[in-house]
Amino acid sequence: MRNHLFAPKKEIPRKVYVLAGVVVFLVFLAIWSALTYGGVVNPLFLPPPDKIVRTAIALFSDGEIFSDIGISFTRVFLGFVAAAVIAVPLGTLMGTLRIAEGAFEPFIGFIRYMPASAFIPLFILWLGLDETEKMAVIFFGTFFQMTLMVMDVTKNVQNDLIEVSYTLGARRSQIFYKVILPASLPGIVDTLRITFGWAWTYLVVAEIVGAANGLGYMIMQSSRFLKPDKIIVGILIIGLLGLITDIIFKAIYRASFTWMRREGA
């Protein structure tokens, strides 16, 4: 079995797979502890793990953090859903029809290199400082990459499937709904999983300006008052929420596409 651990594309036992991830976390925690408890790093810049735990317990005991979590999750979810509602059909169309790819791919490929944070002043000017502006940042940060990734997934559908369908008398609309779309769905779900993770990374950017609540707001306020423990707790909560959504998407993938064998899914 030891030879299989480092053999490309070889399956490994599930316990070994999980253990490898646990070991990495433990190594990270050990390095963190050595730096802080050993006095290598000033606690003002990096608090020790026990300080982070005490701060997290205090925040959750107070209960206010639950409101920030709910507000931030709502912003991320609605911004992501708005992006997916447009990006999935458009990306599928671009991956199916060359004319659609030629029309939209250059423009979307150009816009996706522009940082979402640079558009915040414009979003404020156009949309104000309410929830729409914050969701617009998350939408902008995920929509263009999501569209191109869905396009690539759709383009990778085997031409043999399409040619055989035409041979069997299928019409163009049937090719799309009964061949291309079903064959693309596993990749589309995986794309949504990845881009939902990206949406969480734009949360703090979305809540920098004009926010009075949310995890990003808590992190920014904590930085102003030199509270690195609260900053780290906020970051860890965002990471945990992202991990939970990732697990949910993987569960949906496994339940919906049982005929697909996917390593690590």
**Beta carbons within 8 Å of 161's beta carbon, 6+ residues apart:** 179, 183
Whether residue 146 sits in one domain with residue 58:
yes
In tens, the pLDDT along 227-259 reads 999 999 999 999 999 999 999 999 988 888 876
With a CB cutoff of 8 Å and minimum separation 6, the contacts of 184 are 92, 95, 150, 153, 154, 157
208 lies in the same domain as 142: yes
Q: Do 80 and 148 share a domain, yes or no?
A: yes
Residue 264 falls within a domain, yes or no?
Answer: no
pLDDT for the residue numbered 63: 85
130 pLDDT band, cuts 50/70/90, is confident
**Is the same domain home to 204 and 227?**
yes
- What percentage of the chain carries pLDDT values higher than 70? 96
Residues 160, 37 within the same domain: no
Residue 105 lies inside a defined structural domain of this protein? yes
Q: Per-residue pLDDT averaged across 105-120, rounded?
A: 91
pLDDT tens-digit readout, 41-65: 998 899 999 999 999 999 999 888 9
Distance of CA 171 to the CA centre of its chain: 37
Same domain, 205 and 218: yes
- 25, 94: one domain: no
Please check whether residues 57 and 24 belong to one and the same domain: no
20 with 92, same domain: the answer is no
For the chain, what is the mean pLDDT?
88
Q: Confidence class of residue 150 from pLDDT cuts 50, 70 and 90? A: very high
More confident residue, 135 or 171: 135
Answer with the residue of higher pLDDT: 41 or 161.
Answer: 41
Overall domain count for the chain: 2
* Whether pLDDT at 33 is above 70: yes
Residue 109 lies in a domain: yes
Question: What is the rounded end-to-end Cα distance, in angstroms, of the chain?
Answer: 21
Q: 17 and 58: one domain?
A: no
Question: pLDDT-based confidence at 265, cuts 50/70/90?
Answer: very low
- The residue segments making up the domain with residue 20 are 13-46
Asked whether residue 89 is domain-assigned, the answer is yes
Number of other CB atoms surrounding residue 123 within 10 Å: 22
Please name the residue that has the structure tokens 């904590």: 222
- 117 and 31 in a single domain? The answer is no
In a domain, 38, yes or no: yes
Domain CATH code at residue 74: 1.10.3720.10
Q: What is the pLDDT of residue 261?
A: 54
Whether residue 21 is found in the same domain as residue 59 = no
Q: What is the mean pLDDT of residues 188-193?
A: 94
The two three-digit tokens of residue 212, written as one number: 């009075």
Residue with the two structure tokens 């780290």: 232
